[in-house]
Amino acid sequence: MVVRKIAENVYYVGLDDNITEFFEGIWPLPYGVSYNTYLIEDNEVALIEPGVKKELAAKYLDELETAVSLPEIDYIIVNHNEPDHSGTLPLLYRLTKAKIIASKFGVNLIRSFYNISERVTSVGSGDSLKLGKTELKFITIPGVHWPDSMITYETNNKILFSSDVFGTFGSLRGCVFDSELDLAFYIEEAKRYFVNIIGKYAESAARALEGLKNIKIEIIAPAHGPVWKEYIDSIMNLYRNLASRVSRDKITIIYGTMYGFTEELAMYIASRLAEKGFEVEVFNGVTEHPSFTISSIWDSKVVIIGSPTYDNDAFLPILTHVIYIRSKLIKDKKYAIFGSFGWSGKGYKKIQEILAELGWKLIEPIVEFQGRTTAEVKGKADELVNNIIREVGEV
Ligand code: FEO
């Protein structure tokens, strides 16, 4: 738990969560996550973001009280009502006399989640609130990633309180600013956060970024992960590329294996591509959570899927990754399929059906083989590799 001044009259009040295993009950948190809130102290006091998840309420309130006496809080700005932030809203509501500010849809959610409707005001894009010399301007960003989502711009220090946008997984371990942390790690976790949480709504995110183009931003203060000050360009560029679905000359291979036959060909294909100079990310889809594989796939040009036939069907762990791909609407990729079978094949058919729905284009040949990887199978894989190289372009 950290309280830190981040600008004139503005304080970070945040909490690491190293206990929760899965964000939203789905996405693994091997490196934890932070919940960030911010206090602005002017003639009136505003708390930006309504807190943390309710299980961490006692810890959060203890720390918040070191920064401010709770009855002094005049406003609670609910940029987003997902309970990883708003779990403490009912408590804060009872312990303060603060007015709650949220988008129109947010007001609706606060009533349905917490039965709170008094002292609640809805705001729309362009509305503002003066705390003294500090002015807060509200910008609604519906669909990034909930319909209630909004961001708040502080005009005095030019801080964008961006809610989930520009957020990352990963605890902060006592640090606050991007310059105090391992940039490469948090950029990678920002990418995973985007793909897992916001990716399905990439087009809404792209529109939101367009809307920020003419706003002067000195600090980005998101609801998760580092406060961006030194590397605003890095996180902005990452978001621009992810939101507009820019692919790199990268190839992702996901395979599943029972007894090593499909894995052997996965490694053969990976080595052929690597020796030609391609960037290849290889995942054993049995042990790797789709949270990580879809993050890799998002900006890959080609995805190679290795699925043995199992019970006359796709190999279930691999099918699971494909269902995550569909869930996040990852569209218009090129892909290839390979896999071993024991006595009857075509287990990949269901994978093909799902990827066809998403507009994915198959690169042939499908390298399906009975039993072990023979020289003949490798020959067919070589043909596939040559066709993939043709699609991606020579390195
Ligand atoms: Fe961090 Fe969508 O809540």
Same domain, residue pair 386 and 258 = yes
Same domain, residue pair 39 and 123 = yes
Same domain, residue pair 173 and 33 = yes
* Residue 393 CA, ligand 1 centroid: distance in Å: 38
Whole-structure pTM value: 0.96
Report long-range pairs for 322-327 (Cβ below 8 Å, ≥24 apart).
322/351, 322/354, 322/355, 323/354, 324/290, 324/293, 324/294, 325/290, 325/294, 325/297, 325/354, 325/355, 325/358, 326/354, 326/357, 326/358, 327/200
* Residue 370 CA, ligand 1 centroid: distance in Å: 46
| Phi and psi at residue 136, to the nearest 5° | -105, 130
Cis? peptide before 145, omega within 30° of 0: yes
Boundary (domain end) residue, out of 208, 243, 278: 243
Quote the mean pLDDT of the chain: 97
Ligand 1: atom nearest CA of 197 is: 2
Q: Is 84 in the pocket of ligand 1 (CB under 6 A)?
A: yes
DSSP annotation of 117 reads -
Residue 224 lies in a domain: yes
Same domain, residue pair 269 and 386 = yes
Q: Is 148 in the pocket of ligand 1 (CB under 6 A)?
A: no
Residue 316 lies in a domain: yes
Same domain, residue pair 265 and 284 = yes
Rounded to an integer, what distance in angstroms lies between the CA atom of residue 87 and that of residue 57?
8
Query: Would you say residue 1 has pLDDT above 70?
Result: no
Q: What is the pLDDT of residues 372-384, one digit of tens each?
A: 999 999 999 999 9
* Residue 146: band (very low, low, confident or very high) from pLDDT cuts 50, 70, 90: very high
Helix (H) or strand (E) holding 300: strand 300-306
Query: Would you say residue 257 has pLDDT above 90?
Result: yes
- CB neighbours of 202 closer than 8 A, spacing ≥ 6? 242, 243, 244, 245
pLDDT of residue 394: 63
Length of the chain: 395
Boundary (domain end) residue, out of 224, 243, 262: 243
pLDDT of residue 277: 94
Same domain, residue pair 239 and 265 = no
Query: Would you say residue 20 has pLDDT above 90?
Result: yes
- Which candidate, 341, 294, 303, places its Cα nearest to that of 27? 294
Same domain, residue pair 294 and 223 = no
Query: Would you say residue 205 has pLDDT above 90?
Result: yes
Question: Atom 3 of ligand 1 has which residue's CA nearest to it?
Answer: 82
% of the chain surpassing 90 pLDDT = 97
User: How are beta strands 10-17 and 2-7 bridged, if at all?
Assistant: antiparallel
Q: What is the pLDDT of residues 263-308, one digit of tens each?
A: 999 999 999 999 999 999 999 999 999 999 999 999 999 999 999 9
| CB 7 within 8 Å of CB 157 | yes
Query: Would you say residue 18 has pLDDT above 90?
Result: yes
Q: Is 80 in the pocket of ligand 1 (CB under 6 A)?
A: yes
Chain center to CA of 378: 37
Boundary (domain end) residue, out of 243, 259, 275: 243
Q: Is 321 in the pocket of ligand 1 (CB under 6 A)?
A: no
Question: Atom 2 of ligand 1 has which residue's CA nearest to it?
Answer: 82
Q: Is 17 in the pocket of ligand 1 (CB under 6 A)?
A: no
Beta partners for residue 111, in sequence order: none
Residue 395 lies in a domain: no
The CATH number for 368's domain is 3.40.50.360
Ligand 1: atom nearest CA of 145 is: 2
Rounded to an integer, what distance in angstroms lies between the CA atom of residue 277 and that of residue 23?
36
Instruction: Please give the full DSSP string across 137-188, using - where no structure is assigned.
Output: EEEE-TTSSSTT-EEEEETTTTEEEEETTT--SS--TT--BGGGS-HHHHHH
* Residue 238 CA, ligand 1 centroid: distance in Å: 19
Same domain, residue pair 199 and 73 = yes
Same domain, residue pair 262 and 378 = yes
Query: Would you say residue 360 has pLDDT above 80?
Result: yes
The CATH number for 8's domain is 3.60.15.10
Same domain, residue pair 148 and 213 = yes
Structural domain boundaries enclosing 329: 251-390
Q: What is the pLDDT of residues 327-356, one digit of tens each?
A: 999 998 999 999 999 999 999 999 999 999
Total domains, the chain: 2
pLDDT of residue 133: 95
Q: Is 85 in the pocket of ligand 1 (CB under 6 A)?
A: yes
pLDDT of residue 145: 86
Q: Is 82 in the pocket of ligand 1 (CB under 6 A)?
A: yes
- Which candidate, 111, 58, 56, 107, places its Cα nearest to that of 84? 56
pLDDT of residue 2: 80
Helix (H) or strand (E) holding 356: helix 349-357
Q: Is 223 in the pocket of ligand 1 (CB under 6 A)?
A: yes
Question: Atom 1 of ligand 1 has which residue's CA nearest to it?
Answer: 164
Same domain, residue pair 275 and 203 = no
- Which candidate, 326, 252, 256, places its Cα nearest to that of 293? 252
Residue 332 lies in a domain: yes
Ligand 1: atom nearest CA of 164 is: 1
Residue 52 lies in a domain: yes
* Residue 330 CA, ligand 1 centroid: distance in Å: 21
Same domain, residue pair 264 and 230 = no
Query: Would you say residue 9 has pLDDT above 90?
Result: yes
